Amino acid sequence: MKQIVAVCENEQCEKTIHKGDEVWHKWHDLYCSSKCLIESFGSPVKQQVAEGVR
């Protein structure tokens, strides 16, 4: 068994990340894939835009 070092920050995913795995960084957060990073990064940006319009 590989050592678990983190969990994917995407709430829809939460896959465990093991030592030696390829990971994607956003600030201090770790994601298991670019898809998870983009999904997690995308939603807050949309919320900010919506709040700014109205």
**Binding region for Zn ion (CB under 5 A):** 8, 10, 13, 15, 32, 36
How far CA 50 is from CA of 38, 40, 54, in Å, comes to: 18, 17, 7
In angstroms, the CA 50 to CA 10 distance is 21
**Cβ closest to Zn ion, residue 13 vs residue 38:** 13
Which residue, 37 or 50, has its beta carbon nearer to Zn ion? 37
Which DSSP letter does residue 15 get? -
CB nearer to Zn ion: give 6 or 13: 13
To the nearest whole angstrom, how small is the minimum distance from the Cβ of residue 54 to Zn ion?
A: 32
